Structure 1
Amino acid sequence: MSEMERSPEQDGRDFANAAWSIPSYLISGMIIWGGSGWLLSRWTGVHAFIPIGILTGVVLAIYLVYVKYGR
């Protein structure tokens, strides 16, 4: 089916998929990279790695959302 022949139901499903994917990317990025920062903080004793990991996760998740949906 071409872009011109898309049904409103398909457009609604695409929007719903994006609406669930974007927060999922943000949350998982914060959890994965924040967890990595937490592990690095526990290993080195420097507690600055936790916020650095969380911010890195958010930035990479926003970039991933931009690449996937922003173009």
Structure 2
Amino acid sequence: MRREPTSRTSPGASSAREPDDGTPAEELRAWNAMAYVITGPVMFGGIGLGLDHWLGTSWLVAVGILGGMALSLYLVWVRYGTQ
């Protein structure tokens, strides 16, 4: 009876292996970091826009954009800057 080797990582865990399409892992990490930097201000700016419309204010969009940029840069630093 032959047993297959088991992996110590979960099936959904990310790995540093290169994908099957030949794209280097470093390039994929750079694109992921860029996506974080773009998505944070857009998402939190949109939330700020909705709150501005709902509350009748005009300053929450700027707070949302700045907060989203700060959080996205922190996430990129924690995820990719400490490796």
1:5 alignment counterpart? none
* Rg comparison, structure with higher value: 2
Whose RCO is larger (CA < 8 A, sep 6+)?
A: 1
Q: Which runs of 5+ in 2 are unaligned?
A: 1-17
Question: May I ask how many residue pairs the two structures share in their alignment?
Answer: 61
How high is the sequence identity, in percent, across the aligned residues?
36
Question: Going by fraction, where is helix more abundant, 1 or 2?
Answer: 1
Q: How does 1:36-51 map to 2 (within 5 A)?
A: 36-51=47-62
2:9 alignment counterpart? none
Compute the TM-score of the two structures, normalised by the length of structure 2.
Answer: 0.68
Q: Which runs of 4+ in 1 moved over 4 A?
A: none
**Counterpart secondary structure, 2:57:** coil
**Counterpart secondary structure, 1:46:** coil
Compute the TM-score of the two structures, normalised by the length of structure 1.
Answer: 0.79
2:75 alignment counterpart? 64
